[in-house]
Structure 1
């Protein structure tokens, strides 16, 4: 929601430390939070904040006037681009259709709630350029010119801003000048929203929805009458609606909704600003702390919460790594490399998923990660900052030796628990390493960093794949859809969560 100012690219000395000569990079998985967007709801219009767009002659900060859609040619043999200008309609005073007009009487450039803005397109395109600089220019891991995307896996959630951000990042990494004339359309993988696990899916997992509400109610009982909330009321209560005059976790708007509007408006310059009280540093620190507890404390405290919120996705992440290490490579039937016959195609080297801050925070809170030294885009805390995620979470798999590429049958290791692996396979996994980076900063997983046998000698940020899988296995559901229907009405900790393991171990 807010804008991240990325650090400078890695220096040669930093690269030498980050990528030891004794290891070879084999698989990269990137989870990128969508770019800057508009608020998800109209709030605080009583402050003079224009809904979505801003009056001219100031720049329109939430510009969404021109879109790009894809149409099929008349003979249905190929696809083409089609540009159009969008105007919005609304109800008139007699319910008739009228054109929607912005605060400055403009009738174009009016966006919708939660929509990616031009600022968001710029920053996610820049992210793609940073990925190219690191993985193409500096490391030589990915090719400079592409004739296809066979060794890439692209996925996005059903939310348009996530898909558009992924497209921008891919475009930044491989612009037109870096693709051959016969480059085919890349495959972008999607899921039905009822089966989506690329974000914590409250809407389609009943037990997780219950847990989320219970943790939110607990946060309300802890914080609504606190000194910190009293401070927020001194700042913002005068702007609250008459029907809900006090600032509270469960007020209308909710405290997290106020945070959404603050961060979204702050990311787009003076034309979208709320009154200055909303950007009070102490107030923002307080709202950040409370919102983190409301939304993400469950990942740190409850195995069931981790399983249902992010466990299915992390199971996929680990499956890809194990396939790379054990099966000679990971190949997805849904990606470009799965477009031929079974067993055809290249092993995937680079995966990129367009997702949300709730995705990244859930991953980081479930492990949970820490950092060894202060970083410009991260604060040390039991759970991560919610509002400052931009470049995403990076997961890199490295091994002592490169694995030979081969034609693959479907992996038999998918979702197999680590204890079922033969010792020979586990010994191989101990020679492969996983590292997570958040906003270009390596982060440490407690269960790996605390035991010498679980990390690369001399560098605790490299977790052995064996140890990493053992940690993730503990909160990978056997059947996400079935477990979403279990323990309904069982409170914060269901019967299967009584002997829960601590996050990150």
Structure 2
């Protein structure tokens, strides 16, 4: 019998915890518990979702206001930007101060969304907004725009990073150190997708970390890749990924068929949602619950009134089923996960290896890797990563009555901490998955992904190291426990994540518990999801010809 989602809702968890991310409360006790003196930080990855935004499209005008007036700060910035690049031509005095707020919209966003007109004729939109009192003002947002609420959320995330990694732990300097020739700091690696809301979210996170520096400080080099080669979210233009996702989504929905059908039935009982939702069902658009979630979560996080039928329980169920439709497939299909987010996981794993080699001194004389890497992405970044990490709230097949899939809230963050501890006793037993030690040094590409114990990109030299050596000489004997001083811990918002591969005895820290993986435990968890470049090409060719 399939597990029941509705039965597992936690009645004392307010909906604000579902649509907005929380961070752990820092205290001397928290620091002492999670960062004891015998451990030191070597590297930190911070992967976050952008902050609160307006809905991506205007699909539910019966509940959503015509004008979302939450973008005063952003609009002022865009107006200044438009003036600076000389594309500003005042043509309306909407704000009453001689400035045009319509003008920058046409450059930065699309005010009209074709998806709306395909469902609602213009006369229906007018009827839906008959009693709408909202007006187009200097504060009005466009579709999918980061709001002032979202800016505050990412600033708060940056403030938290500063309080933890600078003030409490002294891991990062209070001010970023200039690189060679007073260039960008080498303490941070910064990357964002090309979406405006992700770029701005990163800027505000930096503002929280370094409040005395402007976001455009020359100390910050923000990297942006073209969408065609970006690995911070799945390539949805790839027909193979689309096909695999549709197939796996059908299987996931079938697993939770009772809850899926019950939610849709209840949504159709909400008068303000019925018309648009029926249109989506008829169009067979897929991921139908997600369309509701996009509007409802945005309204809830901005404090906008919702119909009485859309209460906290219904919001939670929409979050659950959206994750089942969209995130659960990634966890249930190794092949899909490898194609969707494997390249990013490969990059994160490579960063861990570089940080260890630099810490050992192997890369002496070369530029040291950054102390922290920050990636600004989306729910479609956080969700697949959580699925790969086997987190129950990402839609694990092992759903229980105490953990159900949840959609990643706005400003959600994953922190991957590389720790070093040479003092605490290392586990004396081998985890059940370790198998023959010779597997470490074999040609891993010949081993099926599900049986690999480390990613293909993790070099053999990592296990051929001895204290005092600063080279990669192959004469050093292979040592399966050469990585024993290093551990990995992952935080998701306000809690640590227990990776399934790290729960076994021998796969986690002897004192800090199962949430602190041995390096090999972390490698085992991600190994089957990390294809090499050649494997990715071969896999796509094979699927295309299937």
Q: CA deviation at 1:398?
A: 0.8
Residue 307 of structure 2 corresponds to 275
Q: Does the CA contact (< 8 Å) of 2:176 and 2:187 recur in 1?
A: no
Q: Does the CA contact (< 8 Å) of 2:414 and 2:491 recur in 1?
A: yes
Are residues 436 and 184 of structure 1, via their aligned partners in 2, closer, same or farther at CA, if it must alter by over 3 Å? same
Quick check: 1:141 aligned with 2:171?
A: yes
Residue 352 of structure 1 corresponds to 374
> Secondary structure in 1 aligned to 2:532?
coil
Q: Does the CA contact (< 8 Å) of 1:115 and 1:161 recur in 2?
A: yes
CA distance in structure 2 between the partners assigned to 1:67 and 1:183 by the alignment: 16
CA distance in structure 2 between the partners assigned to 1:421 and 1:294 by the alignment: 39
Residue 531 of structure 2 corresponds to 477
Greater share of helix: 2
Residue 80 of structure 1 corresponds to none
Residue 209 of structure 1 corresponds to 242
Residue 454 of structure 1 corresponds to 507
CA distance in structure 1 between the partners assigned to 2:142 and 2:492 by the alignment: 30
Residue 67 of structure 1 corresponds to 77
Alignment of 1:257-336 (within 5 A): 257-270=291-304, 273-278=305-310, 280-328=311-359
Alignment of 1:68-467 (within 5 A): 68=78, 86-87=101-102, 88=105, 104-148=134-178, 149-176=185-212, 184-203=218-237, 205-219=238-252, 223=257, 228-229=262-263, 231-236=265-270, 239-241=273-275, 244=278, 250=284, 254-270=288-304, 273-278=305-310, 280-328=311-359, 345-369=367-391, 381=403, 383=405, 385-400=406-421, 416-417=457-458, 422=463, 424=465, 426-450=480-504, 452-458=505-511, 459-467=513-521
CA distance in structure 1 between the partners assigned to 2:50 and 2:373 by the alignment: 16
Which runs of 5 or more residues in structure 1 are unaligned? 54-59, 75-83, 92-101, 333-341, 372-378, 403-412, 491-505
Are residues 85 and 427 of structure 1, via their aligned partners in 2, closer, same or farther at CA, if it must alter by over 3 Å? farther
Q: Does the CA contact (< 8 Å) of 1:224 and 1:249 recur in 2?
A: no
> Secondary structure in 2 aligned to 1:115?
coil
CA distance in structure 2 between the partners assigned to 1:462 and 1:220 by the alignment: 33
Q: Deviations over 1:72-95 (max 9, x none)?
A: 999xxxxxxxxx86314679xxxx
TM-score, structure 2 normalization: 0.70
CA distance in structure 1 between the partners assigned to 2:75 and 2:265 by the alignment: 40
Higher mean C-alpha displacement, 111-120 vs 458-467: 458-467
Q: CA deviation at 1:364?
A: 1.3
Quick check: 1:39 aligned with 2:55?
A: yes
Residue 499 of structure 1 corresponds to none
> Secondary structure in 1 aligned to 2:59?
coil
Q: CA deviation at 1:186?
A: 1.0
Q: Deviations over 1:127-158 (max 9, x none)?
A: 10111011111111111123432111011111
> Secondary structure in 1 aligned to 2:62?
helix
CA distance in structure 1 between the partners assigned to 2:361 and 2:266 by the alignment: 50
Are residues 295 and 253 of structure 1, via their aligned partners in 2, closer, same or farther at CA, if it must alter by over 3 Å? closer
TM-score, structure 1 normalization: 0.75
Are residues 24 and 223 of structure 1, via their aligned partners in 2, closer, same or farther at CA, if it must alter by over 3 Å? same
Equivalent of 2:544 in 477, 483, 488: 488
Which runs of 5 or more residues in structure 2 are unaligned? 1-15, 86-98, 113-131, 179-184, 394-400, 424-453, 466-478
Q: CA deviation at 1:347?
A: 2.8
Greater share of strand: 1
Q: Does the CA contact (< 8 Å) of 2:62 and 2:272 recur in 1?
A: no
Q: CA deviation at 1:248?
A: 8.5
| Root mean square deviation of aligned Cα | 3.8
